[in-house]
Amino acid sequence: MTFRPVSRYFARTRICAVSAALALPLVALAWVHPAEARIRCVNGNQIVNGSLLATPYCQDELVASVAREHGMKVSASEVRNNPNYKRNVCQFVGRDIRIYQACIDANSAGRRGF
Contact in structure between 15 and 21 (CB atoms under 8 Å): no
Mean pLDDT of 92-108: 86
Q: Using an 8 Å Cβ cutoff, are 102 and 63 in contact?
A: yes
How far is residue 69's CA from residue 71's CA, in Å, rounded to a whole number? Answer: 5
Residue 67 confidence class, pLDDT cut points 50, 70, 90:
very high
- Confidence (pLDDT) at 15: 61
Q: What is the mean pLDDT of the chain?
A: 80
Kindly indicate the confidence band of residue 24, based on its pLDDT and cuts at 50, 70 and 90.
low
Please state, for a pLDDT cut of 90, what percent of the chain lies above it: 50
The CA distance from 21 to 71, in Å, is 59
The span from the CA of 79 to the CA of 13, in Å, is: 64
Against a cut of 0.85, is the pTM above it?
no
Q: What is the pLDDT of residues 53-66, one digit of tens each?
A: 999 999 999 999 99
Mean predicted confidence (pLDDT) in 44-53:
93
pLDDT, average across residues 15-21: 58
